[in-house]
Amino acid sequence: QVQLVESGGGVVQPGRSLRLSCAASGFTFSRTGMHWVRQAPGKGLEWVAVISYDGSDKYYADSVKGRFTISRDNSKNTLYLQMNSLRAEDTAVYYCAKDRSVPIIDHWGQGTLVTVSS
């Protein structure tokens, strides 16, 4: 079955960087678009970024554009999110999620918590 396991979360100071990883299994990762979605404490879901199956296309939410970079390593079945210039408002649970064969998110990981605080 599909498994998405995020890692790399933690407490980081404002202005610093952090890289999240998502290990995927149970589906053909190299043929699947992948997303990052976040949820601030007590708030709703916010879409962050998407990357195409081969990494050639990447799109970002305005709130993270220029600061976050989504990437993937299909040889390792792993998705990444490089987060730079972190702000307090980036504090959230970050979920890794996959697309169906069409642009619909169908499976989610359990999330990793990122806290930006001095």
- Can you give the binding site for other proteins, defined by CB under 8 A? 35, 37, 44-47, 50, 57, 59-63, 95, 100, 102-111
> Toward other proteins, which CB reaches closer, 75 or 104?
104
Give the nearest distance from C-beta 89 to other proteins in angstroms: 15
Relative to beta strand 112-116, strand 10-12 is: parallel
The backbone torsions φ and ψ at residue 31, rounded to the nearest 5 degrees and listed phi first, read -115, 10
Q: What's the closest the beta carbon of residue 108 comes to other proteins, in angstroms? A: 4
Q: How many CB atoms lie within 10 A of CB 74?
A: 16
- Write down the least CB distance from residue 82 to other proteins, Å: 19
Residue with Cβ nearer other proteins (13 or 66): 66
Q: Which of 55, 48, 56, 94 is nearest to 72 (CA)?
A: 55
Indicate the residue among 7 and 63 with the shorter CB distance to other proteins: 63
Residue 8 CA to residue 64 CA, distance in Å, equals 18
* Residue type for position 108: W
